[in-house]
A = this chain, B = another copy of it.
Amino acid sequence: MATGRTHRPATRSRGIPEATVARLPLYLRALTALSERSVPTVSSEELAAAAGVNSAKLRKDFSYLGSYGTRGVGYDVEYLVYQISRELGLTQDWPVVIVGIGNLGAALANYGGFASRGFRVAALIDADPAMAGKPVAGIPVQHSDDLEKIIQDNGVSIGVIATPAGAAQPVCDRLVAAGVTSILNFAPTVLTVPDGVDVRKVDLSIELQILAFHEQRKAGEDAAHSDGTGPAAVTREESDASADQGPDGDVPAVMPA
């Protein structure tokens, strides 16, 4: 690595746009599927279709990684898989802890997406003493009293929070204090973290609300026209989400004045 070619050793330079990073996993998945089918090369057009993006965007994205394609031919599948994996840091093993082994935490522990691709569930942690020792997805649940020790013993830097909303911030604080610097938060709460710690949020009810917004719009437009039975309205195959921190609290009923 870092063997300068024509440019600077820019291979993993600081300059990859966030939007591009967010799409690399997409490309990787599509490429992995091609790899399994022993497809040797792909054009940007083909790969873009498989990943659900447009080809200009894909080429631009890849250009940030380097010039890994061959003009007139396309990209070497195996090589790209490797380069993207490396860029994403998936050539190393990331031990992950899941905190909060309720319905969701258990589902996450069982989710195949974890085991594959460099992520390994190092420990499951729950505050309920009754859970301690009980195996979930083949891994014994440990009590949250030992959280700090578990983090340190396993060299964990990525934590997943699947606790109830109220417990999320305290858990987050302890994780961070113990050395975790990346957090995936499933609780519907805004997490406050110190600089240098990354938080990503997955929030079911926010996603639903966004869908409801568009759904309402469709209904409105339909009504304005005829009572048509056919769907014809807001078409977006590139709806964008973004958003990071969720606000706090549980979500009760909506009923103003």
Q: Which residues of A contact B (CB under 8 A)?
A: 1-6, 8, 12, 14, 18-19, 21-30, 32-33, 35-36, 49-54, 78-79, 81-82, 85, 87-92, 94, 96, 102-104, 106-108, 110-114, 116-119, 157-158, 181-184, 188, 190, 193-200, 202-218, 220, 231-254, 256-257
Contact of A24 among B21, B118, B188, B209 (CB under 8 A): B209
Across-interface contacts of A240 in B (CB, < 8 A): 18-19, 22, 242-244
Q: How far is the CB of A224 from chain B (nearest CB, A)?
A: 10
Contacts of A233 in B (CB 8 A): 181, 195-196
Q: How far is the CB of A25 from chain B (nearest CB, A)?
A: 4
By the criterion CB–CB under 8 Å, are B113 and A251 in contact? Answer: yes
CA gap between A53 and B201 in the complex, in Å: 14
Known A-B contacts A28-B209, A256-B85; the reply to A215 vs B182 at CB < 8 A is yes
The complex places the Cα of A25 from the Cα of B249 at a distance, in Å, of 12
Among A4, A23, A217, A243: residue with most chain B CB under 10 A:
A243
**A246 in contact with B26 given A52-B2, A204-B113, A256-B79 (CB within 8 Å):** yes
Interfacial chain B residues near A245, Cβ < 8 Å: 26, 51-53, 237-238
- Residue numbers in B under 8 Å from A50 (CB-CB): 190, 247-248
- A212-B113 contact, Cβ under 8 Å, with A240-B19, A254-B118: no
CA distance A216 to B92 in the complex (A): 9
Q: Which 9 A-B pairs have the closest CB atoms?
A: A89-B216, A52-B245, A113-B205, A82-B256, A103-B107, A30-B247, A29-B247, A196-B233, A6-B235
